[in-house]
Amino acid sequence: MILPLQRRGDLSQAQWQKLQPLLPPQKPAVGRPSNDHRTTINGILWILRT
């Protein structure tokens, strides 16, 4: 698995490992798959910082 580059303000690998089990499944039973959770959370954190 290739990890994306960590940009300033993004979640670290350790933070992500603590948060990941608390999120819903990436691919729900019905409907289309959701966006990547890590990208979404990093986007939310970026909005909060700006």
Residues of the domain holding 41: 13-49
- Number of domains making up the chain: 1
Residue 34 pLDDT: 74
- In terms of Cα–Cα distance, which of 37, 8, 7 is closest to 20? 37
Determine the Cα–Cα distance for residues 26 and 38; give it in Å rounded to an integer.
10
Specify if 17 maps to a domain: yes
pLDDT digits (tens, 9 = 90+) for 1-50: 555 566 777 888 899 899 999 988 777 777 777 788 888 898 898 999 88
Residue 32 lies in a domain: yes
Domain membership of residue 3 (yes or no) is no
Whether residue 6 is contained in a domain is answered as: no
pLDDT of 18 reads 94
Q: Establish if 5 belongs to a structural domain.
A: no
Residue 39 lies in a domain: yes
Question: Is residue 41 one of the residues assigned to a domain?
Answer: yes
